Amino acid sequence: MKTVTEVLKSATARLEVGAVENPRLDAEILLAHVLKWRRLSLYVDAEKTLPLESILRFNELVNRRLEGIPVAYLVGSKEFMGLSFAVNQNVLIPRPETEILTEFVGEYLRGLGGEVNFADLGVGSGAICISMLKFVKSARASAVDISNEALAVAKFNASKFHVEDRIKFFCGDLLKPLEGQKFNVIVSNPPYIPTLELKKLQIEVKLEPQLALDGGEDGLSFYRRIISDAPRFLVDGGLLAVEIGINQASAVRKLFEQENFVDVTILKDLSGIERIIAGRN
Q: Which residues of the chain form contacts with ligand GLN (CB under 6 A)?
A: 92, 95, 189-193, 205, 213
- Please, what is the minimum distance in Å from the beta carbon of residue 95 to ligand GLN? 5
State the DSSP string of 131-194: HHHHH-TTEEEEEEES-HHHHHHHHHHHHHTT-GGGEEEEESSTTGGGTT--EEEEEE----B-
In whole angstroms, give the CA distance from residue 178 to residue 162: 23
Exposure of 175 in the CB half-sphere (CA atoms within 13 A):
24
Shortest Å, Cβ 42 to ligand GLN: 28
Decide whether 90 or 189 has the Cβ nearer to ligand GLN: 189
Give the shortest CB-189-to-ligand GLN separation in angstroms.
Answer: 5
Instruction: Quote the least distance from Cβ 41 to ligand GLN, whole Å.
Output: 31
CB 268 to ligand GLN: min, Å = 14
3 state DSSP class of 262: strand
**Shortest approach of ligand GLN to residue 191 CB, angstroms?**
5
Q: Which is nearer to ligand GLN, 4 or 185 (CB)?
A: 185
Nearer to ligand GLN, 91 or 130 (CB): 91
- The half-sphere exposure of 87 on its side-chain side, counting CA atoms within 13 A, is 28
Q: Would you tell me how many other CB atoms lie within 10 Å of the CB of residue 209? A: 17
Task: Report in angstroms how near the CB of residue 122 gets to ligand GLN at its nearest.
Answer: 8
Between residues 189 and 281, which has the closer beta carbon with respect to ligand GLN? 189
Q: Which residues pair with 189 in a beta bridge?
A: none
The distance from CA 57 to its chain's CA centroid, rounded to whole angstroms, is 28
Residue 12 vs 189, nearer CB to ligand GLN: 189
3-state secondary structure of 210: helix
Which residue has the closest beta carbon to ligand GLN?
192
**CB of 213 or CB of 241, closer to ligand GLN:** 213
Listed in order, strand segments (DSSP E) in 25-147 are 77-80, 83-86, 116-121, 139-145
Interior CA angle at 190 toward 100 and 79, to 5°?
A: 45
What are 140's strand-pairing partners?
A: 117
Q: Which among 270, 252, 271 is positioned nearest to 261, based on CA atoms?
A: 252
CB nearer ligand GLN, residue 190 or residue 238:
190
Between CA 135 and CA 162 the distance in angstroms is 12
Nearer to ligand GLN, 211 or 235 (CB): 211
